[in-house]
Amino acid sequence: MIASVADDVARTLARVDVAAARETYWRQGEFLVLERLFPESLAARWLDEVARVRPAIHRNYIPKHKKGGSVSHHTLRAEAPSILALYHAPAFTAFIRAITGRDAKPCPVRDPHACALYFYTEPGDHIGFHYDTSYYKGVRYTVLLGLIERSSSRLVCQLHRREPSRTPVDLSLATEPGTLVLFNGDTLWHAITPLGDHEERVSLTLEYVTDARMNPLKRFVSDMKDAIAYFGFRQVFARARGDAISRSATGKGGPF
């Protein structure tokens, strides 16, 4: 089954005009959207795993910045093999490299953001404008994949904000199931607008980095930010020590 996820991902990406996508990515200041890239059959497998990990959602509220839920890489490694299969699919990593022109790789296992789900399930859930700042020595790329979109929330972005010679461009996007967004986290200024009543939005993010080294001070800042703003101290620091805190019946982590 996992091999078939990787194969299906490869088949999907083989249909993409990579040269055109690369040109668009760079023309838009390292930002690319491919609407409904992945077919419903693949998204359905990922949605099964979204349902499975819902009991593990960790919710956070930081006034004036964010409100919402997340499920970390550590939980997904234990319970979401089809999502992890996408993250590590050779064709997918090759695609990221082909678009960005850089030798990006999946982030280290200890990184709770490496492959994580973000749940907007309660009225007002949102995240304010920010960059996905890389604490790594290398460039970090974010892939955002829409999985559930039954909301008036939008991914709002400003392109070219850090390019003085270019005019900023504002965008507002619904991330429908299977839609892929790829960007350089240090260049895209972006937010998710607040969820309305009786709405739901779930997205997956995958992070790739060109150099995964990190100095100890940045490591500490990154861990604290992840613990407070996203996943909780237990997820972040137990994993940083290498403890096993899987919720799975076997108590073992995933294959990656």
What's the rounded Cα separation, in Å, for the pair 188 and 38?
23
Minimum gap (Å) between residue 8 Cβ and Fe ion: 27
Piece of 29-37, 45-53, 128-136, 226-234 that binds Fe ion (CB under 5 A): 128-136
Whose Cβ is closer to Fe ion: residue 109's or residue 156's? 156
Minimum gap (Å) between residue 207 Cβ and Fe ion: 10
Minimum gap (Å) between residue 89 Cβ and Fe ion: 22
Piece of 20-28, 90-98, 131-139, 228-236 that binds Fe ion (CB under 5 A): 131-139
Minimum gap (Å) between residue 90 Cβ and Fe ion: 26
132 binds Fe ion (CB under 5 A): yes
Minimum gap (Å) between residue 40 Cβ and Fe ion: 26
Whose Cβ is closer to Fe ion: residue 79's or residue 111's? 111
Whose Cβ is closer to Fe ion: residue 79's or residue 132's? 132
Minimum gap (Å) between residue 56 Cβ and Fe ion: 21
Whose Cβ is closer to Fe ion: residue 8's or residue 132's? 132
Residues in the chain: 256
Whose Cβ is closer to Fe ion: residue 74's or residue 140's? 140
What's the rounded Cα separation, in Å, for the pair 98 and 102?
8
Whose Cβ is closer to Fe ion: residue 30's or residue 132's? 132
Angle between helices 18-27 and 90-100 (to 10 degrees): 50
Structure tokens at 41: 């059959």
Angle between helices 40-53 and 2-14 (to 10 degrees): 140
Minimum gap (Å) between residue 131 Cβ and Fe ion: 7
The residue whose Cβ lies closest to Fe ion is 132
What is the total count of residues that contact Fe ion (CB under 5 A)? 1
Piece of 36-44, 53-61, 114-122, 130-138 that binds Fe ion (CB under 5 A): 130-138
Cβ atoms within 10 Å, residue 133: 12
Whose Cβ is closer to Fe ion: residue 95's or residue 183's? 183
Binding residues (CB under 5 A) for Fe ion: these are 132
